[in-house]
Amino acid sequence: MKRLIIVCEGQTEQEFCNDILQPHFIQFGIVIQNPTIKKTAGGIVNWSSLKHQIETHLKQDPTAFVTTLIDFYGIHANHNYPNWLQANQHNNKNVGMDLMEQGMLSSIPAQLHQRFIPYIQLHEFEGLLFCDINVFDNGFEENEFLDYDYLVQTINENENPELINDSSVTAPSKRLLKIIKDYSKITHGCLLAQDIGINKIRSKCPRFNNWISKLETI
C-alpha cells in the first residue's frame, strides 16, 4: 500500500479525508494519513511553518507522498506564501492557484519535488458543498432553512461551486450560516459531502477533480 499524507487546514478537512477520500483512495492501494497543520488551533499558518511540516513528513518517510488541503480564503499577505500577491491580483483565480502551488513546490528542496503535490482549495472547502441542491432538500427539514431562496440562487448562479466567493460575507461558509439554522462546519459539512459523494463533487469542481486525478496516480 502507498502512503499519502494530506496536511489539513482543520478538523473539517480532516473529517472529509476520513469519510470521503480514504474510502475512494483505498481502491487505488493508497492509505491516507491526515494530520492538521501544526502550531495552530485550526487555520492557516505562515508558509515557513507549513513548509517545515511538509519537509519533515517527506524526510521521515522516503516512500510517502505529501499533499495539502488548505483554503485560499484564509491565506493573507502576512502569511508569506509563494506567489500570493500574483495570485491575489490575477483575474483568473484558477491561474492564481496554479501560481501559488508552483511556488510552494519550488520552495522545497528539489530532491523532494517528486513526492510533494501542493493543493489549495479555491476558495473554501465549503464551496464543494454547493454541488447538489437535492442533498440539502433530503438532509434538512423545511424549518431548518433560514433562507432557502438564497441557497437556490447560489447554486443556480454558480455552475462551478469552486468559484463562489464574492466577499468576506458571501464566502461559501458564510453563505451556509445564512442558509442553515445552527449550521456546524464539522458536523453538517462532512455529512453533506458524504451525501453528495466524491463523483458528483468531481464532476462540478474541476480543480478538485484535477487534484484527485493526480493523487490517484502516485
Residue 147 buriedness (CB in 10 A; 0-12 / 13-18 / 19+): middle
* Predicted TM-score (pTM) of this structure: 0.94
Condensed to tens digits (0 to 9), the pLDDT of residues 4-22 reads 999 999 999 999 999 999 9
Q: How far apart are alpha carbons 130 and 193 in whole angstroms? A: 9
**CATH number among 3.40.50, 1.10.3470, 3.40.720, 1.10.10, domain 2-124+198-216:** 3.40.50
- Indicate if the pLDDT at residue 123 is higher than 90: no
Strands (DSSP E) contained in 19-99 are 30-33, 65-71
Those residues whose C-beta lies under 8 Å from the C-beta of residue 182, and which sit 6 or more positions away, are 144
> Residue 3 in 3-state DSSP?
strand
Helix (H) or strand (E) holding 151: helix 148-157
Condensed to tens digits (0 to 9), the pLDDT of residues 65-101 reads 999 999 998 899 999 999 999 998 998 989 999 999 9
Domain boundaries, the chain: 2-124+198-216, 126-196
Q: How far apart are alpha carbons 153 and 173 in whole angstroms? A: 15
Dihedrals phi, psi of 113, to nearest 5 degrees = -55, -40
